[in-house]
Amino acid sequence: MAQDKIELTLDARTVTGKTVKTLRAKGIVPAVIHDHGKASVPVQGEYQAMYKAYQQAGKHHPIMLKAGGKNYVAMIKTIEFEPKKNTMRHIVFGAVGVHEKVEAEIPVHAAYAEGNDSSPAERAGYLVISNVPFVVVEAVSTSLPDVLTYDAEKLVEVGDRVTVAELNIPSGVELKTEPETVIATVYEPSAVAAANDAAGGDAEADAEVPTENGSPEDDKDTQDAENQPGGKAGAQAKGE
């Protein structure tokens, strides 16, 4: 079920290009609103307020924006992070209609039996490896779910798996990710250890922590994002 309304007030922005670094130094995040093919609207907001809205909305929940004397229903389309500090550098919002269907990335979580925090396979000492952190769905923007779940009690023995087709999908939400996509699989720990040894170490430990968007060394990518007219929110808005 979708969460309560999220509101965010932004200011008009006149600082653009490489000089936006002066805004970041003051704790202000530069952003832009794309609105169905109209001219992009440069805006800015206080860091903590922007970060709180991002934590609540992610890329799957509409935000009620107030900016430049206008009101928008918008979703976060892209967000850039500074790679070393993992702080927000820039956000692109995509305006959507209240009754407009959009595609969005919805997080996938395991649902456990009451009183448990793991699947039967994990309780038996096996490993459950998740392959899909989110799926793409289509729904009216105000009806997008915050999370989709699957029944983790189905994961019992080595080789057991859960696919996208087994997710609990609310009414009015259409799944866009291929139904046969595997979400999670049960493995024997010794088999995973052998695979890691063959690969020269623990791939998971060696992997870098990903961010939602890489951070450009300057603001060329930011400029490119802002110059694109009518971005598609959360993925692609229909009927634009």
What is the share, in percent, of the chain residues with pLDDT greater than 90? 63
CA distance 135 to 122: 24
Q: Is the pLDDT of residue 86 over 50?
A: yes
Say what the pLDDT of residue 234 is. Answer: 41
CATH tag, 6-100+219-227: 2.40.240.10
Say what the pLDDT of residue 202 is. Answer: 53
CA distance 119 to 186: 10
Letter for the amino acid at 132?
V
Predicted confidence (pLDDT) per residue in 110-131, tens digit = 999 999 999 999 999 999 999 8
Say what the pLDDT of residue 239 is. Answer: 38
| CA quadruple 49, 31, 23, 213: dihedral sign | positive
What average pLDDT does range 76-80 have in this prediction?
94
Tokens (6 digits) for 31: 């952003």
CB 70 within 8 A of CB 207: no
CB 119 within 8 A of CB 110: yes
Please, which pLDDT band fits residue 23 given cuts at 50, 70 and 90?
very high
Say what the pLDDT of residue 100 is. Answer: 86
What average pLDDT does range 137-145 have in this prediction?
90
236 burial level (CB within 10 Å; 0-12, 13-18, 19+): middle
Residue-range domain boundaries for the chain: 6-100+219-227, 102-201
Tokens 């609540």 label which residue?
Answer: 56
Q: Is the pLDDT of residue 75 over 90?
A: yes
Say what the pLDDT of residue 223 is. Answer: 54
User: Strand, helix or coil at 114?
Assistant: coil
- In order of 17, 154, 183, 233, the CA distances from 31 in angstroms are 12, 43, 33, 14
Say what the pLDDT of residue 4 is. Answer: 72
Candidate from 15-19, 77-81, 166-170, 221-225 with smallest mean pLDDT: 221-225
Predicted confidence (pLDDT) per residue in 164-207, tens digit = 999 999 999 999 999 999 999 999 998 777 777 777 755 444 43
Residues 6+ apart with CB under 8 A from 5: 64
Q: Indicate the helix (H) or strand (E) that contains 54.
A: helix 47-57
> With left for phi above 0 and alpha for psi between -120 and 50, is residue 133 left, alpha or beta?
alpha
Tokens (6 digits) for 49: 């307020």
CA distance 233 to 49: 20
Candidate from 96-105, 106-115, 170-179, 205-214 with smallest mean pLDDT: 205-214
Say what the pLDDT of residue 216 is. Answer: 40
CA distance 20 to 88: 13
Say what the pLDDT of residue 155 is. Answer: 97
Say what the pLDDT of residue 204 is. Answer: 47
Q: Is the pLDDT of residue 208 over 50?
A: no
**Mean of per-residue pLDDT scores for the chain:** 84
CA distance 101 to 143: 9
How many alpha carbons lie under 13 Å from residue 71 in its C-beta half-sphere? Answer: 5
Tokens (6 digits) for 34: 């794309």
What would the DSSP string read from start to end of 70-100?
Answer: EEEEEEEEEEEEETTTTEEEEEEEEE--TT-
DSSP code for 222: H
User: Which CATH number is correct for 102-201, 2.170.120.20, 2.130.10.10, 1.10.240.10, 2.60.130.10?
Assistant: 2.170.120.20
Candidate from 90-99, 120-129, 139-148, 220-229 with smallest mean pLDDT: 220-229
